[in-house]
Amino acid sequence: MTRNTAKNRVNKILHESSKGIFSDDSWNQIHNIFRELSENGFQADIMSTMYHQNVYGIPISKEWRIQITVETGKPLNGIITAHGAGSVEYPLDRYDISAYVC
């Protein structure tokens, strides 16, 4: 599989797996994304994670930087971000997801 084909397949999985608004205490949909990638033959390694906060120190998003090794060429690098969609007091009670690799 070429690097471009792998990128397109991974981005399709990320797109399909990140539709909707989610509400849980353990990032279940993020775990589902990693499971979907694995079930489709892609090993995603987490390179780093980071919470982003608003000016009051309240977490408003969490970011996972990932890397996927492909058979040919450079690895795919990407970002999965859970964006707070909850209340002002608890933005991450609900979240939506954006994700891509390049």
Q: How far is CA 76 from the centre of its chain?
A: 13
User: Could you tell me the two tokens for 96?
Assistant: 């939506």
Sole residue written with tokens 């399709």: 12
- 48-101: per-residue pLDDT in tens? 999 999 999 999 999 999 999 988 779 999 999 999 999 999 999 999 999 999
Residue listed under structure tokens 């990932």: 66
Give the count of domains, the chain: 1
Task: Using the structure block, give the residue that is written with the tokens 């589902």.
Answer: 32
Distance from C-alpha of 40 to C-alpha of 8, rounded to nearest angstrom: 13
pLDDT band at residue 24 using 50, 70 and 90 as cut-offs: very high
Query: Which residue range(s) make up the domain with 40?
Result: 3-101
What integer pLDDT is reported at residue 36 of this predicted model? 97
pLDDT of residue 57: 96
Three-state secondary structure call for residue 36: helix
| pTM of the full structure | 0.94
Q: Based on the number of CB atoms within 10 Å of its own CB, is 3 exposed (0-12), middle (13-18) or buried (19 or more)?
A: middle
Does 7 score more than 90 pLDDT?
yes
